[in-house]
């Protein structure tokens, strides 16, 4: 080992640490793996997360106000359990990137857990997504809720000009953090949940912690403190489920917060034409709703991610209050 460390081409020797999926299927409000007759009608779904990122105060109107250009020409790399690409939420917007798994020599992108399908729905789903015109690139690194190696996650952070969503649990890894820092210099931006140590502790990552329904700090699932950059909905988030093409489910956890912010990165790329890690990060923080989250923030910033839509108060009568 000392010989390897001493080699001129070796920066660091570090144990290959596991990454996990850890989330909870929610039993509140009796929404568990259900079929929705018209998922694109805001009256038939409970989408409080969409409302939270498009309003400046808590309401119970369940409407999402957004630009019809949201996500156009942008990509989200969902590093997760795969995505059920045939779900009605996606309508052809999912492409396969990399899979650490294969069956009979063929790359396996099937989501056997549901985690990645749910995350992708929040980012770019036709009904439940924040940036509805974005393309999802599925990067499968975990399966059956089991762990996989950090090396497989690291292997696939080479893409540029896109947001990378990581909603996985992992112990601290300096190697993973270094990779995030290096990628950020190439204008690759990461949105990560504050429920893990890496890459959430990387300075250049957009580290997101969780609020509950009613806009109070979620003290059950999320980390907190000065390493947190911003807050987003993470309690009982309604999105696509993996069991069938027309099924939906509510999930809890910091896994659900990162995709809200990842999709807002794409929102600002497509709607406002902003590019570059620094500029996008500054815009996300500058447009956040300030000082509206209650509870004990324990040092976390009181900033709730928002799409800054100027037509918030008077949405036209279109799907989810969609504006031009």
Question: Is 115 among the residues known to form the active site?
Answer: yes
Which residue out of 67, 80, 118, 236 is catalytically annotated? 80
According to DSSP, the residues that pair with 232 across neighbouring strands are 210
Question: Is 184 among the residues known to form the active site?
Answer: no
- Burial class of 274 by CB neighbour count within 10 A (0 to 12, 13 to 18, 19+): middle
Q: What is the CB neighbour count within 10 angstroms for residue 10?
A: 10
Query: In sequence order, what E strands does 161-264 have?
Result: 163-166, 169-170, 189-193, 206-212, 216-217, 230-233, 237-240, 247-252
Q: Is-contact 66 130, C-beta < 8 A?
A: yes
Query: Dihedral sign, CA of 126, 131, 135, 137?
Result: negative
Distance separating the N- and C-terminal Cα atoms of the chain: 59
Which residue out of 99, 255, 270, 323 is catalytically annotated? 255
117 membership: H or E segment, kind and range: helix 115-124
Question: Is 255 among the residues known to form the active site?
Answer: yes
Which residues are the active-site residues?
80, 115, 255
């Amino acid at each position: 080992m000392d010989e390897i460390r001493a080699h001129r081409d070796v920066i660091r020797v570090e144990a290959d640490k596991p990454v996990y999926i850890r989330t909870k299927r929610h039993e509140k409000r009796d929404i568990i793996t259900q079929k929705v007759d018209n998922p694109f009608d805001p009256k038939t779904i409970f989408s409080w997360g969409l409302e939270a990122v498009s309003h400046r105060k808590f309401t119970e109107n369940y409407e999402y106000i957004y630009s019809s250009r949201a996500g156009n020409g942008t990509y989200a790399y969902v590093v997760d359990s795969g995505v059920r690409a045939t779900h009605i939420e996606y309508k052809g917007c999912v492409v396969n990137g990399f899979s650490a798994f294969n069956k009979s020599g063929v790359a396996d992108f099937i989501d056997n857990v549901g985690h990645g399908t749910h995350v992708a729905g929040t980012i770019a789903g036709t009904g439940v997504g924040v940036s509805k015109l974005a393309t999802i690139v599925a990067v499968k690194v975990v399966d059956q809720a089991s762990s996989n190696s950090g090396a497989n996650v690291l292997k696939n952070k080479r893409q540029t000009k896109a947001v990378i969503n990581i909603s996985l649990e992992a112990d601290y890894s300096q190697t993973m953090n270094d990779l995030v820092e290096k990628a950020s210099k190439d204008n690759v931006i990461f949105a990560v949940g504050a429920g893990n140590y890496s890459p959430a502790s990387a300075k250049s990552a957009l580290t997101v912690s969780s609020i509950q329904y009613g806009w109070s700090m979620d003290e059950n699932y999320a980390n907190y403190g000065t390493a947190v950059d911003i807050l987003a909905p993470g309690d009982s988030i309604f999105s696509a489920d993996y069991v069938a093409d027309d099924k939906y489910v509510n999930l809890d956890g910091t896994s659900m917060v990162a995709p809200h912010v990842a999709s807002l990165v794409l929102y600002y790329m497509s709607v406002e034409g902003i590019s570059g890690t620094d500029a996008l990060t500054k815009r996300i923080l500058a447009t956040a709703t300030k000082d509206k989250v209650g509870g004990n923030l324990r040092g976390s910033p009181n900033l709730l991610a928002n799409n800054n839509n100027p037509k918030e108060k008077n949405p036209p009568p279109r799907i989810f209050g969609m504006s031009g």
